[in-house]
Amino acid sequence: MLQKLLKNRSLILASQSPRRSFFLKELNLDFEIRIKEVDENYPIHLKGKEISEYLAKLKASPFLETLHKQDILITADTIVWLEGKALGKPKTKKEAFEMLKSLSGKKHDVISSIALTTVQNQIIITDTTQVSFKKLSDDEIHFYIETFKPFDKAGSYGIQEWIGYIGIEKINGSYFNVMGFPVQKFYTALHEI
């Protein structure tokens, strides 16, 4: 359906996330993946969605001088927001354990932002989903980390994996947003571009 609308456009996904590629394929979109390394640091005064929006824009910045008129660049970022603190991707098993332990038995927000960048303008889409975890045992957390190695996931977990099946009691908002890509909002924004 979108292919007709985008027939003279080139979609570029600047992400190595297999989940984001999956969603674009499922929307029946043609796209190419281009990666440019970005130091994903943000000013410490930013809070909640300000962080994910800042990082989605930051990831677009290395491409700005090379975009062509027909290009639509897609960059995205997801954070887990718990008690006034952003949880990104863990670097070690210990860090993953600490993140999951901190989420255990609590509610948190998953915030995803997508930047759609063209030569003319940039649209930012942001979505927030509230997630409630049951109390997780240390054994459950260790099993998940060892088996699923969640080092590419904000907050150290994937809702679509084992920990989501056994640990998530409730969500309020978009399931796909928790996977890092608010598909419905993205679809609507592509129509606006």
Summarize pLDDT for 125-177 with one digit per residue, the tens.
999 999 999 999 999 999 999 999 999 999 999 999 999 999 999 999 999 99
- Mean per-residue pLDDT for 187-192? 91
Beta-carbon contacts of 23 under 8 Å, excluding residues fewer than 6 positions away, are 176, 181, 183, 186
**Mean of all residue pLDDT scores within the chain:** 95
Tally the domains of the chain.
1
With 70 as the cut, is the pLDDT of residue 1 above it? no
Residue 79 domain boundaries: 2-192
Residue type, 192: E
Rounded to an integer, the average pLDDT of 38-53 is 96
pLDDT higher at 191 or 45: 45
- Spot the catalytic one: 30, 39, 77, 109: 77
d(CA 54, CA 37): 16
77 annotated active-site: yes
- Centre a 10 Å sphere on the Cβ of residue 92 and count the other Cβ atoms it contains: 10
What does the pLDDT average to over 44-56? 97
Structure tokens at 156: 């150290």
User: What's residue 133's pLDDT?
Assistant: 98
Task: Give tens-digit pLDDT for 12-43.
Answer: 999 999 999 999 999 999 999 999 999 999 99
At 2 the pLDDT is 75
> What is the pLDDT confidence band of residue 6, given thresholds at 50, 70 and 90?
confident
Structure confidence at residue 193 (pLDDT): 79
